[in-house]
Structure 1
């Protein structure tokens, strides 16, 4: 997490979401590159996930820019939109984790690749880390 904003919300949580959505998108590429003989259905699904995660990342970037431009005068509506976006990012990460676990358990190519299993576990751990951060920040707001 970047601390140039101190403990300031909502930039704090947007910074986390921006970083982790970019990471998750990059992880789709890692999985495709690591498992050379990955079944086409998973290759295609990983490409779709990459597009979806990149789109979410861009939404987060736009909100960062909006919050920065608003200075210290963040409207209640913008603040609520940020919390809604972070909640969406959290749910998206949950779905991405489920997909990664599905690939690990159902792909014959992954089952024959011990390195891929370890990498997928690491990818899942990183997305779970983001979920933990997002939940903590969201719950602090209630």
Structure 2
């Protein structure tokens, strides 16, 4: 993401969050479909994560619609809410990464599936990319 958006940066982070929350939601499906015989506790966790990520994605979309309808004006209160949502999205991605690492490191089925390990590493890197963007915005406001 380019950081020359200036005052429009909060809008740009909403675009990024919308894209990456949807990606993470899809990644839960990719993992379940790729790793046949994945342990039930991980399948259940991924199902719960799919639901949670979908809810977050919808929250982000709602904020985008609000900002769009307000002619891209961000009053202080809305700006603060966008920053809080960004922080929530970042924390959620950190937790999702932790689940992916648990699956990669502790699943007996994944331990025998090199492709699954590579895909999990890729998914982790993609979530880390979003975290980097979110951190840059959150820390730049101070």
What's 2:13 paired with?
13
Provide the alpha-carbon RMSD of the alignment: 1.3
Number of matched pairs: 139
State the shift of 1:73 in Å: 2.8
Runs of 4+, deviation exceeding 2 Å: none
CA distance in 2, matches of 1:13, 1:73: 15
State the shift of 1:22 in Å: 0.3
Q: TM-score, normalised by structure 2?
A: 0.94
Q: For 1:121-140, list aligned pairs within 5 A.
A: 121-140=121-140
Gaps of 5+ in 1: none
Gaps of 5+ in 2: none
CA distance in 2, matches of 1:97, 1:61: 22
State the shift of 1:117 in Å: 0.3
CA distance in 1, matches of 2:103, 2:28: 11
1:35 aligns with 2:35: yes
What's 2:98 paired with?
98
Q: TM-score, normalised by structure 1?
A: 0.94
